[in-house]
Structure 1
């Protein structure tokens, strides 16, 4: 991982989705292992501009933009960070690039078309050793450690749980052939979203310059 002035350029593409609907959601862990089933993803600071993702009883709130299938999460000095798969790590960071999370089977997250690959692991060697006592969210496309627990991720409205709202059907306030059904807790369209996207891009430029310098 490295800091790069290319970050604002990568976010310019996100600004193009200015009319996309967004929703305040949390990310819930679904697993056949009761130890982690029903936990939520939360992020903890581990490096400059980078949070590592762990499992906890409550989770971070995200803004999901299904125009680009991207999750905006924790902010760093007012700059929104993105949920990303970075090698084997699941992070929330301001580093270059972003991960596209497709939505399959309702509200289930997928990377490269698959909802598998997410694992809860301990003793990963994270910088501050949080994983000695908490499960860290990792991503392995193959050869996951045998002591890690596989899970999938579903997104739900803040304060809800997939366990308790499985009969609830979420729908878009605007529907088109390519849109994905998402919770509609928050909607910003047209100029409002464009203004927010522009402000985000300007903020990221300043943050990236500060990080490089």
Structure 2
């Protein structure tokens, strides 16, 4: 058996060992409980996690590597640095595992995940949609505590069929709701609700499922 054949077999084995999953929020808040996590493009090589109805973005999980990845044409790793939950080409920053109930563990803990508004994300999507954040300490007031649970992509969705979005295999329409007036930490100062995405958020209230991410894709293409 030659070296090329060995490489092919190794690659096939790695693909076979990865599970296709998506993440849903579990929370005492009915605003976000059961919502899927979709990763929206917000910069070169980085996608931030947002909550909405339906299945979230399709991710690959390798138990051997203890990593979640998003395929956007390049491999992006699930990261929690700087408060933001993101998929990034920077590479992994923690060991990702799951407990017996399929709750996501960062370095062994399922705690510190929150749904927040007005996080000062680059494209200001959090002015109208809940962003998934990670605060081991000093979580801003107004954020909603949650845990993340993995679901098998082949399993049934409780909120209907997924919709396709830029940068992922499948994802979710993000739900619009009343803006939070809470402030966030200095590094994520609150944004004014009259940001450049106010009109997009208003249109989203009356648009069919998936229209928000269509607007996201358009905006990303123009920036």
The Cα of 1:161 is off from its aligned counterpart by 6.1
Is 1:91 matched with 2:71?
A: no
Stretch deviating more after TM superposition (140-149 or 150-159): 150-159
Is 1:47 matched with 2:43?
A: yes
Matches within 5 A, 1:32-111: 32-58=28-54, 59-75=56-72, 78-111=73-106
Verify the 8 A CA contact 2:94 2:107 in the aligned structure 1.
no
Say how many residue pairs are matched: 147
**RMSD, matched Cα:** 2.2
Which residue among 114, 119, 123 is the counterpart of 2:118?
123
Partner secondary structure for residue 87 of structure 1: helix
Distance across 1 between alignment mates of 2:27 and 2:37: 13
The Cα of 1:98 is off from its aligned counterpart by 3.9
The Cα of 1:21 is off from its aligned counterpart by 1.9
Q: Which has the higher contact order (CA 8 A, sep 6+)?
A: 1
Structure 2: unaligned runs, 5 residues or longer: 1-10, 160-223
The Cα of 1:144 is off from its aligned counterpart by 0.5
Verify the 8 A CA contact 2:38 2:51 in the aligned structure 1.
yes
Verify the 8 A CA contact 1:103 1:110 in the aligned structure 2.
yes
1:38-74 deviation line (CA, Å, top 9, x unaligned): 0011011111100111111131001110001111113
- TM (norm. structure 2) is 0.61
Change over 3 Å in CA distance of 1:35–1:19 after alignment to 2: closer
The Cα of 1:89 is off from its aligned counterpart by 0.8
